[in-house]
Structure 1
Amino acid sequence: MEPMMGGIRGSVIDPDTEVALAQLAAEIEAGEASEPGVFSRTRWALNAWRKRHGQVESAERGSSGSGGPGVRFGWPAPLKLAVKGYKGRGGGAMTSVMPLLEYQSTTMHACGFNPWVIGAASPQIGVPVGVHAETGEAACWDVLSWFAEGLISNPSAFVLSLPGLGKSTLIRKALTGAVAYNQIPIVAADIKGEYVLITQLLGGQVIKLGHGYGHINPLAAGALGDSLSVLVRNRAKLEAIGKVEEIAKTEAMIHSRQVTMTVALLELNRKAQLEDYEVSAISVALRELREDGQFSFARPPLLKDLLDKIAAGSEGMHRAVWAKGQEEYERTVRRLAQSLVALLDGALGQIFAHHTTESLDLSKSAICIDVSGLERSDQHLKAAVMLACWSDAFGTMEAAHLLADCELGPQRYFLAILDELWQVLGAQGAGMVQRVDELTRLNRTDGTGLLQITHTGRDLESLPSEVDVKIAKGFIERSGMVIAGGLPQGELERLADVLPFSEAEARQITSWSRGIPLRRSKRGRRQQYYGTGKFMLKVSKDNTPGVPIQTVLTDVEREYQLHNTNVRFEELMIERGIV
């Protein structure tokens, strides 16, 4: 190369040098040779030759290459990546980089650091039901755990959501968690049979009521009658601890429940309220049936026995209705007797005219009263059966608490699930809202969590009187928390006076109620609604932000299809090639 180097020092370019530079440029271009060193004389001569002949310099060609880092003057081909760095000029070894230190913190304390740009109030307390809809962190919830931790003031929740968006799935998850926490969930009147399978898998008790299945005696004492027998057998112990008066209190409680349940059924069937003297006649008749010795709380009478007693009359019955003589008495109780006959011979009599088929068993892990066998079109029958089941369930809970207070049994905790609340509220019987109100007024000392489920706020407003509407809305006001799934904007406005939502929450909840985009072509997987499994947990009735959650199904839940409500359509989906 010395002749080449010498050729560029003078003002005249040596022809041999020109030929050598042209040959070197061609070899580099063809990849047969590499670029000379950056600071070598050959490189300077080659760059000068390229400028004279109008060729692009290597720096411009190398900068457009792909892969690997370029250097100041570049290469026509990308560098090769090795284990410890890039090979070739401008490359070099890359030493091992130590991993960054990791710190763990709550989203509240780490608020503002990427990716936690906002705080996510999702307490890790209770039953795992899914994830936070915004941050993806685990979401846990159940009313008894949140009440024990002081997050809510009342162990109850009111659930609102349009049909098909997964509210029953959320409740079944809460049921499963209650069993894991050694609580006893009671589904009082499962109108669609949605909780039968999960109850059976958990080793619980399933009681089926309906035409041809079973019966329920509204005059039966149930678990309260069993607890009364226990109290009587342990009278000496009760006297020792100063609680012998509990026997008389329990007898009065059972008698009151018998009267209340009978009056509720008669009013529902009559579609009007009973007169006060008619209620007195029922109370006196039930008391005299026990005093005669033929019946007791352990051997309760039937409604037909009550009818016979009222029809026969007695001196005490005459005084109860303030009748002078048998003839005036018969005229006074004629309407009541007619209502009892109609109750026994009508649709309600098929369920309530016989002794209770199966009583609630508190030794089971869970209890489900399946009333899916009832006639769907008979609204009054469904409402009556549901009301009777709820009364029996709450009586069972009171019996367990009574024995625990008297040191005759363990302290039990319950989760009462009142699903399809609109079925009872929509019945046209007088006073049905008041009856439900009496059943649902739980206090903190009951040891019972309560879940009330319905579709929309319209269910609470479609009642016969303004008083009933206010009482029904009181269900929401007294609940420790409200869980809202997908709801239209009109429903949020309807509930604004008892449950205000912020603008952001309202947009989120209404977005969950929107439909599925229409497909332009057939595909293999069935689409899911955007709002399926999404809920807003509101723990306060003021402007405190809610917790948006997304329920997540486990492998076991998918395997047993615990939440599949489209079983009837499986063959249709298979025919259409839908998974």
Structure 2
Amino acid sequence: MTADAPVPRPWGWALPHGGRAANVEAGTRYAGTTSQLCGLFPFAVASGADVRGVPIGRHLYTAETVGLDPAHWLRTGLVSNTGVWVQGQPGIGKSSITKRLILGLVGFGLRAVVPGDVKGEYTPLIAALGGTVWRIGRGRHTLNPLDPGPYQPAIAAAVGAERTRLAETLRARRLALLDALLTVVAGRDTDPTGRRLLGSALDLVTHTTDAPLIPEVLHVLTRGGDLLHRIAAATGPDDYARTTRTLVNTLGLLCDGPLRGLFDQPSTVRPDADSPAVSLDISALDGDTDDIVAAAMLCSWAWAAALTDTTTRNVVQVQDELWRALRAAPGLVEKADRITRLGRHHGVVSLQITHSLDDLDALATDADRAKARGLASRTAILVLGGMPERELDRLRGIVSLTDSERALVASWAAPPTWHTGHRHPGRGKYLIKSGQRIGLPVALTLSPAEIALHDTDTAFHAGGPR
């Protein structure tokens, strides 16, 4: 047919023997289950995802782009909160999908906050976003747990009841963090008398300075005074010294023990209201004991919570290596939750990343383990990477998985053969679950600009194993 030849109408040529149909009857609609009709209709599995959001990959069955934006999902009624739980075995790309979400959500106007980056793996991304990275460690930046930080300008600008609320919130967060640090050092909770003594000593110090230091609180607590003597019910200086000896020595370990130089000096970390992303990099402490890392993570979380509590800008916050802090001492799950308790009411998208629910077994008490499971079960969105069947069995109490979903996630756990040179079957593949809905299996492909920012295997490149 040439370009200038007549084009037939939709129902054929209007000529004799031209194949024209005067009437086209409507088709008959039949209904059936996907088990019966999947051969006739091969598109029986729809993605069911709104494309709006951060593009996290293509649906494995339909190739449709899948978008994930917890804030948008909350606004449209798909979820009840903006918590995201990311779980999968090491090396399958948990940090990749987390960084993709950070990158996209910052582009949507949210501020990224990464408190306590244990391995420093988010530092290149935060720097590429034009954000601020504070490297915490001996001889580096210091973080004073009692520093008002972001609260100071907020309190100075507030008046009336709002000023009182912020001041009381700051005091409560200081005491909660100080109590948590003492729990890490001592390995047990502070008794009620010790908490009252700490609170009164802190109040006495804050009457003279806006940025108290732990050594100053220790000095006031050691010196005593009428108020502290009454709280301790001491009959004299010697009785007071005996009563407070354990508390004084525990607080002293924050200044003289392995933590010396980290949290007993004025803070050099300063909040930047205009920065699109902030990270507290504690990778310099990665080789230290769990107690030191836990203390650094708790301080970083508290600082980030203060930053979020005093800003009107929505935030995406990442908590990676979560259990490394919580397993340091009994009761830290509740204390950490008290320090960082923020959510949809504060405009926070929370990303919590872990390898396995086996991490829960490392927590000290049954109460801690139950509360930690609650952290996972309360998140509205789960991102599941490759993991073995045994781990999927443990997830049953948190999320409902169909047999096909279980088989799919388990197939990503390991290559089927010992032949090398093939891409790991689970690299960049995830199952997005929320409520009782059918999950969204997606495959993430990194852009060239992202590859260098997402590489967590740099120690094995070029020079080989060390």
User: TM-score scaled by structure 1?
Assistant: 0.72
**CA separation in 2, counterparts of 1:121 and 1:362?**
38
Match of 1:274 among 166, 178, 190: 190
**CA separation in 2, counterparts of 1:268 and 1:345?**
15
**CA separation in 1, counterparts of 2:305 and 2:227?**
31
Letter in 2 for 1:538: K
**CA separation in 1, counterparts of 2:143 and 2:8?**
72
Bigger relative contact order, structure 1 or 2, given CA contacts below 8 A and separation 6+?
A: 2
Q: Are residue 538 (structure 1) and residue 433 (structure 2) matched?
A: yes
Match of 2:375 among 475, 478, 483: 475
Match of 1:207 among 124, 131, 134: 134
Q: How does 1:535-574 map to 2 (within 5 A)?
A: 535-540=430-435, 542=436, 544-558=437-451, 561-572=452-463
Q: Are residue 384 (structure 1) and residue 295 (structure 2) matched?
A: yes
Aligned residues of 1:157 and 1:479 also touching (Cα < 8 A): yes
Aligned to 1:459: 359
**CA separation in 2, counterparts of 1:310 and 1:467?**
32
Tell me the secondary structure at the aligned position of residue 222 of structure 1.
Answer: coil
Aligned to 1:490: 390
Aligned residues of 1:437 and 1:471 also touching (Cα < 8 A): no
**CA separation in 1, counterparts of 2:205 and 2:176?**
17
**CA separation in 2, counterparts of 1:386 and 1:221?**
17
Task: Give the C-alpha shift of residue 153 in structure 1.
Answer: 0.6
Aligned to 1:161: 88
Change (3 A) 1:572 1:228: same
Query: 1:353-407 CA deviation, whole Å, 9 max, x = no partner?
Result: 111111232210111111111142411111110111011101111111xxxxxxx
Letter in 2 for 1:506: R
Aligned to 2:254: 343
Task: Give the C-alpha shift of residue 306 in structure 1.
Answer: 0.7
Change (3 A) 1:324 1:145: same
Letter in 2 for 1:289: V
Letter in 2 for 1:419: D
**CA separation in 2, counterparts of 1:548 and 1:440?**
31
Q: Which moved more, 1:211-220 or 1:319-328?
A: 319-328
Change (3 A) 1:333 1:99: farther
Change (3 A) 1:442 1:257: closer
**CA separation in 2, counterparts of 1:333 and 1:133?**
62
Query: 1:217-265 CA deviation, whole Å, 9 max, x = no partner?
Result: 111111012211111xxx4xxxxxxxx2111111111111111111111
Letter in 2 for 1:552: T
Tell me the secondary structure at the aligned position of residue 283 of structure 2.
Answer: strand
Match of 1:506 among 402, 406, 414: 406
Letter in 1 for 2:330: A
Aligned residues of 1:516 and 1:528 also touching (Cα < 8 A): no
Change (3 A) 1:506 1:330: same
Letter in 1 for 2:443: Q
Aligned residues of 2:301 and 2:340 also touching (Cα < 8 A): no
Aligned residues of 2:176 and 2:338 also touching (Cα < 8 A): no
- In percent, how many aligned pairs have the same letter? 29
Aligned to 2:173: 257
Aligned residues of 2:384 and 2:432 also touching (Cα < 8 A): yes
Aligned residues of 1:225 and 1:254 also touching (Cα < 8 A): no
**CA separation in 2, counterparts of 1:267 and 1:444?**
29
Aligned residues of 1:307 and 1:337 also touching (Cα < 8 A): yes
Aligned to 1:241: none
Change (3 A) 1:368 1:327: same
Task: Give the C-alpha shift of residue 114 in structure 1.
Answer: 5.2
Match of 1:528 among 414, 423, 435: 423
Task: Give the C-alpha shift of residue 453 in structure 1.
Answer: 0.6
User: TM-score scaled by structure 2?
Assistant: 0.89
Task: Give the C-alpha shift of residue 301 in structure 1.
Answer: 1.6
Larger of the two Rg values belongs to structure: 1
Task: Give the C-alpha shift of residue 343 in structure 1.
Answer: 2.0
**CA separation in 2, counterparts of 1:471 and 1:444?**
20
Match of 1:182 among 78, 85, 109: 109
Task: Give the C-alpha shift of residue 97 in structure 1.
Answer: 9.1
Task: Give the C-alpha shift of residue 321 in structure 1.
Answer: 1.8
Q: Are residue 421 (structure 1) and residue 322 (structure 2) matched?
A: yes
Query: 1:107-162 CA deviation, whole Å, 9 max, x = no partner?
Result: xxxx9785523222222121011111221110111322222222111011111110
**CA separation in 2, counterparts of 1:376 and 1:162?**
22
**CA separation in 1, counterparts of 2:283 and 2:422?**
28
Task: Give the C-alpha shift of residue 440 in structure 1.
Answer: 4.8
Task: Give the C-alpha shift of residue 320 in structure 1.
Answer: 1.9
Unpaired segments ≥5 residues, structure 1: 1-82, 85-94, 102-110, 236-243, 401-410, 521-525, 575-579
**CA separation in 1, counterparts of 2:373 and 2:250?**
31
Q: Are residue 144 (structure 1) and residue 71 (structure 2) matched?
A: yes
Kindly tell me the number of residue pairs found equivalent between the two proteins: 437
Q: How does 1:75-90 map to 2 (within 5 A)?
A: none
Letter in 1 for 2:183: E
Match of 1:369 among 280, 283, 289: 280
Aligned residues of 1:516 and 1:529 also touching (Cα < 8 A): no
Tell me the secondary structure at the aligned position of residue 571 of structure 1.
Answer: coil
Change (3 A) 1:266 1:573: closer
Query: 1:515-569 CA deviation, whole Å, 9 max, x = no partner?
Result: 363237xxxxx532101111111111x4x211111111113223xx111222222
Letter in 2 for 1:563: H
Tell me the secondary structure at the aligned position of residue 85 of structure 2.
Answer: strand
Query: 1:324-357 CA deviation, whole Å, 9 max, x = no partner?
Result: 3322211111111111222211122221111111
Change (3 A) 1:287 1:174: same
Unpaired segments ≥5 residues, structure 2: 12-36
Change (3 A) 1:510 1:439: farther
Aligned residues of 2:330 and 2:363 also touching (Cα < 8 A): no
